[in-house]
Amino acid sequence: MTFYDIQTIYLVVSFLYVLLPATAWMVLSSQRSTAAALWCSGGLVFSVSCFFFAIRESGPDWLTYSAANYLLWIANILPIMALRHQLQRPRRVGVVMTGLLIAVLGFEYFHLVAKNPTLRFLWSTVILAGLFTYIHRLALEMARTQGIRSATWLSAVYFIAACIITLRCLRVAFGFAPAGATISGFDSMLTVLMGLLTSVWGNFAFVGTFLERASQQSAQAAALRAKQEEAQRLGAQIAHLDRQRALGAMSASFAHELSQPLTAILMDAQNAQMALRTEQVNAAELTQTLEEIQNSSHRAVALIERIRNFIKPTRTHHQWVDMQSLVRDVTDLMRVRAKASDVQLNLDLCTTPALVWGDRIELSQILVNVLRNAIEAMQNSITRVVTLQLSTTEDGCVLQFNDTGPGITKALPDPVGTPFVTSKPDGLGVGFSISRTIAEKHGGTLTIANTPNGGACVRLALPLGS
């Protein structure tokens, strides 16, 4: 074999186009995608085309030249589709087939009608140069828009290949070389260089491009997960601080409410002590006094337990939550604050079961925030009533808070609930935003609007559990 044995060179290039795409496919086995499949398939088709060129001297013209050229075009169309897929701009198959059909018709026209082998060769090489140039442009676009350095190498490889095939085309057009795919001499050196560039460096550059892109996506995904986890952690801290702030604002009312059972316990204990000292002990009266002490203790413990359950920082714990029970518990918790502000809390609860799947503490925070806002909004109102109405639908439950306050001020942005924007001089502007986020996390919605009769209506909609 000599260096200028062009048939042998085609066989070597054909072998490389089987080996290297298969190697690329194995390297990308853990990250297989449509783009990788298209690129590797193009390599295999290129291998078949080179094999047909290699048997040009012994095979029929329709197979070793016409079919070989068609496969050569397809072999470069597939990488184009792979790169467009990487750029998220996939080309429709109908457009590709139309372009291929036009190329075939032109090729056969110069062969069967014009019967001009030179024009047929020039038509084929011009198409091939155009395909190489388009691959170069797509790879360059990927390098610029996605910052993938390997795509720069891929672009350079196909730019050089396009220049080589263009030089070959010009040599034939100006009569410096005969037309044909199996011409020896300087033109065979150009063919060898083009084949080696696109087979070896082209495949390595594509693998590098794909791996670099996958590495970028993994890094971006990791950064996004870290950002989401940090946002979730900060959101939980803000929600916890908001609960602490809510209870801090109601601390005086809680102290007053807690002092009542404690005072009753103290008085009953003193009465029992005095009766024992005077030895005028009545068993029935003493039993009644002890029961009153026990009841007062239960009231104090229940109040402290409600406060502790609301304020303690815990991880999200989803369970079946009875909305009727939740509304009653939160209303009892807020009744102290409402009484201190001369606000009446009315309940209108449905009798049908209203079970939702969620975190009880987070859902209770929505109710506390809405009730607290309603109570604070009615400080200057003559009539101060908040009505909580719980109803069920086919696929969810709706809890409405209707107050008799002034409603939503026009100074607030739309939609209401923009974080850190509030009409209260001492507010943080996070309560409604946190509540809406919690509702959405539970698959529901939280909205607010003015009512026709005055006041505001907050609507909490949550999906029912089956």
Domain membership of residue 244 (yes or no) is: no
Instruction: Report strand pairing: 396-403 vs 456-463.
Output: antiparallel
Are 465 and 356 a contacting pair, CB within 8 Å? yes
pLDDT score of 164: 86
The model's pLDDT over 251-308, given as tens digits with 9 standing for 90+, comes to: 554 555 565 567 667 766 776 777 777 766 677 777 777 777 777 677 667 666 655 6
Instruction: Find the domain containing 281 and state its range.
Output: 250-312
Are 191 and 128 a contacting pair, CB within 8 Å? no
Are 216 and 157 a contacting pair, CB within 8 Å? no
pLDDT score of 54: 82
pLDDT score of 3: 45
CATH number of the domain residue 445 falls in = 3.30.565.10
CA pair distance 150, 156, nearest whole angstrom = 10
CA pair distance 416, 433, nearest whole angstrom = 9
Domain count, the chain: 3
Are 49 and 72 a contacting pair, CB within 8 Å? yes
CA pair distance 89, 92, nearest whole angstrom = 9
pLDDT score of 401: 93
pLDDT score of 420: 36
pLDDT score of 255: 56
Please tell me whether residues 95 and 76 are part of one structural domain. yes
Please tell me whether residues 288 and 338 are part of one structural domain. no
Please tell me whether residues 336 and 463 are part of one structural domain. yes
The domain boundary residue, chosen from 312, 339, 357:
312
Please tell me whether residues 211 and 153 are part of one structural domain. yes
Please tell me whether residues 305 and 327 are part of one structural domain. no
pLDDT score of 70: 92
Please tell me whether residues 277 and 307 are part of one structural domain. yes
Domain membership of residue 165 (yes or no) is: yes
Whole-structure pTM value? 0.51
Please tell me whether residues 305 and 324 are part of one structural domain. no
Domain membership of residue 208 (yes or no) is: yes
Please tell me whether residues 33 and 100 are part of one structural domain. yes
Residue ranges of the chain with pLDDT lower than 50?
Answer: 1-3, 249-250, 253, 411-429
